[in-house]
Structure 1
Amino acid sequence: MEIDEIKKKVLEDVDPQLRSQKKKEMRRARLVISLQFLALAAVILLVFYLMMGFSTVTGNSMYPTLHDTDIVAYSRLGKEYKPGDVIVFKRSDGEEFVKRVVAVAGDTVNIQLGKVYVNGEEAKFKGTLGKTSRTGNCIEYPVVVEDKEVFVLGDNREISEDSREFGAVKNNDIKGRIIWYLGRL
Structure 2
Amino acid sequence: MEHKGVLKNIGGYVFYIILAVVFALTFRTYVFARTTVIGPSMQPTFHDKDSVFLEKVSTETGHISRGEIVTFYSKDENNDDYIKRVIGIAGDKVEIKDGKVYLNGQLLSEDYLPKGTITEPNSLITQYVIPKGYVFVLGDNRGNSTDSRILGPINLKDIRGHVILRVYPFNNIRAF
Amino acid at match of 2:65: K
- Give SS of 2:57's match: coil
Indicate if the aligned counterparts of 1:88 and 1:97 stay in contact, CA closer than 8 A.
yes
CA contact (8 A) 1:102 1:153 kept: yes
Q: Is the 8 A contact 2:97 2:126 kept in 1?
A: no
**Conservation of the 8 A alpha-carbon contact between 1:84 and 1:125:** no
Matched, 1:69 2:49: yes
- How far apart are the structure 1 equivalents of 2:48 and 2:96? 26
Give the equivalent residue in structure 1 for 2:26: 46
> What one-letter code is carried by the residue in structure 2 that aligns with 1:124?
S
Q: How much has 1:125 moved relative to structure 2?
A: 2.9
CA offsets, 1:87-118, max 9 Å, x none?
01002222210000001111111111211000
Matched, 1:96 2:76: no
State the match for 1:11 in structure 2: none
Query: Does 2:71 correspond to 1:84?
Result: no
- Alignment-derived partner of residue 102 in structure 2: 117
Structure 2 unpaired stretches of 5+: 171-176
Q: Identify which range, 26-35 or 51-60, moves more after superposition.
A: 26-35
The TM-score, its normalising length taken from structure 1, stands at 0.76
Match of 1:134 among 121, 125, 129: 121
Query: Does the residue aligned with 1:44 lie in a helix, a strand or coil?
Result: helix
Q: Kindly provide the amino acid, as one letter, of the partner of residue 91 in structure 1.
A: S
- Aligned-residue CA RMSD (Å): 2.4
Deviation at 1:149, TM superposition (A): 0.9
In structure 1, the gaps of 5 or more residues are 1-20
Larger Rg: 1
Q: Percent identity?
A: 30
Question: Aligned-pair distance for 1:174?
Answer: 1.0
Q: 1:27 to 1:147 in 2, by over 3 A?
A: closer
2:90 maps to a residue whose letter is A
Q: Is the 8 A contact 1:72 1:182 kept in 2?
A: yes
State the distance in 2 between where 1:147 and 1:42 align. 34
- Counterpart position of 2:138: 153
What CA distance in whole angstroms lies between the structure 2 residues aligned with 1:175 and 1:72? Answer: 13
CA distance in 2, matches of 1:175, 1:26: 44
Aligned residues: 163
For 2:174, the equivalent position in structure 1 comes to: none
- Moved >6 Å (runs of 4+): 21-28
Distance 2:4 2:130 in 1: 67
**1:60/1:156 contact within 8 Å kept:** yes
Q: Deviations over 1:139-181 (max 9, x none)?
A: x222211111111001111211211111111111111211222
Q: 1:136 to 1:182 in 2, by over 3 A?
A: farther
